[in-house]
Amino acid sequence: MSTGGVDSRRVVFSWVMLAPFLVLFLVFVVYPLIQSAFLAANQTFGPGTRTFVGTKNFELLISDPVFWKAIRNTFIYALGSLFVQLPIAFLLALALNSPKLRGRGIYRLIFFSPQLMGLVFVSILGALAFEKRAGLINQALDAAGINDLLVWVTGNDAWLEPDWLQQHVMATLILISLWLYVGFNMIYFLAALQSVDKSLLEAAEIDGAGPWGKLRHVIFPSVKPVATFVILLSMIGSLQLFELPYILLESSGGPDNKGLTIVMYLYQNGFDLGDLGFASAIGWVLALILIGLALVQVKLTRAQEVNA
């Protein structure tokens, strides 16, 4: 058949187009993924020095109190950001959703802008702003008299010059990430609010629904799919938190490992101590947690679709 030549030429073209991706993907994703399973059963002292240890890495891991501390810190951060950040992001989106609001474009740009700085540079800014003596936060609290108030309320002189980075690490991490991510999540919620059916809102108004009624019966149900997606995205990102505490605490876990996260624990073991095997074991535990979360989200979304 005359089309035979064209077809085979097209197949060759397909593979030529795919080749760069496939080669890089096989070498730098698939191969390391397979290796990570082998590595997790080995101990190393730097690359290329494997000693088989079987399941010992996992046994060491679950009996290491530092690991549980890292898990605890990471989840506190993730839940903290979830319950502080997302409600504020949603309220901001609701406020900016009205087309009649003057300056909504400017507000949107301002709230979104910290995202542009990028996590590393925000971490540097955060480290300087929360610095004990010359930092923006303590100087501002002092100028506003809030420090004196806190000392008066708590009866604790430490509030005169709170040491955010050493004593209140988790709160500092959550506050900085609030500044950084609230506008980013707001953008998703704004996009979701576009899909709210205007005629449904009008119908609800005619039926005598107040603002709360409209929120509950019209807006929440139509924002729900995006909301579950944003929650998942935020959880996945939070559980892999690394740069912010790594830079704030200068590559340590902070006093008593108060700010150590799972990925920092992985980094310390794999790259400071050179045990890539133990680091891979930590990587697998983290991966299983993340995949578990994703599966829960898929289940929830399915359940919603069935109910709808």
Partner 1 sequence: MSAGQRKINKWILHAILVLLAIVTLVPYVWLIIASLKGQDDFFSAIFLPPGDGAFGIGWDKLSLDNYRALFDLGFEVNLINSVFYSATTALFATLICAATGFVLAKHQFRGRNLITLVVLGALIVPPTLLLAPGYELLYDLNLLDTSWGLLLPLIAPAFGVFLFRQAVIQSVPDELLEAARIDGCSEWSVFFIVVLPLVRPMIGAFMLITFLGMWNNFISPQIVLQTADKQPLSVAIAQLRGVYKTDYGLLTAATVVSVLPVAALFLFLQKQFISGLTSGAVKG
Window 199 to 258, contacts with partner 1 (CB under 8 A)? 225-226, 229, 236, 240, 242-243, 246-247, 250-251
CB contact burial 159-192 (16+ within 10 A = b; e otherwise): beebbbbeebbbebbbbbbbbbbbbbbbbbbbeb
Of these, 63, 82, 92, 169, which contacts partner 1 (CB under 8 A)? Answer: 92
Sole binder of partner 1 in the list 27, 146, 158, 303 (CB under 8 A): 27
List 69, 76, 84, 107, residue binding partner 1 (CB under 8 A): 107
Stretch that binds partner 1, among 55-63, 73-81, 131-139, 159-167 (CB under 8 A): 131-139
Q: Does 175 bind partner 1 (CB under 8 A)?
A: no
> Total residues contacting partner 1 (rule CB under 8 A)?
90
Identify the residue among 56, 171, 267, 300 touching partner 1 (CB under 8 A): 267
Question: Is the Cβ–Cβ distance between 50 and 39 less than 8 Å?
Answer: yes
User: In this structure, what token pair is assigned to residue 288?
Assistant: 């299983």
53 binds partner 1 (CB under 8 A): no
DSSP 45: S
- For residue 294, the minimal CB distance to partner 1 (Å) is 6
Q: How distant, in Å, are the alpha carbons of 168, 187, 274, 279, 292 from that of 266?
A: 23, 32, 10, 5, 19
Our finding on whether 121 is near partner 1 (CB under 8 A) is yes
Window of 59-67, 69-77, 128-136, 199-207 that interacts with partner 1 by CB under 8 A: 128-136
Please list the residues that pair with 42 across neighbouring strands.
Answer: 52
Q: Does 31 bind partner 1 (CB under 8 A)?
A: yes
Q: Which residues contact 259 (CB under 8 A, 6 or more apart)?
A: 73, 169, 170, 173, 245, 248, 249, 253
* The binder of partner 1 chosen from 60, 284, 297, 300 (CB under 8 A): 284
* Cα–Cα separations (whole angstroms), residue 257 to 129, 235, 245, 285: 22, 22, 11, 20
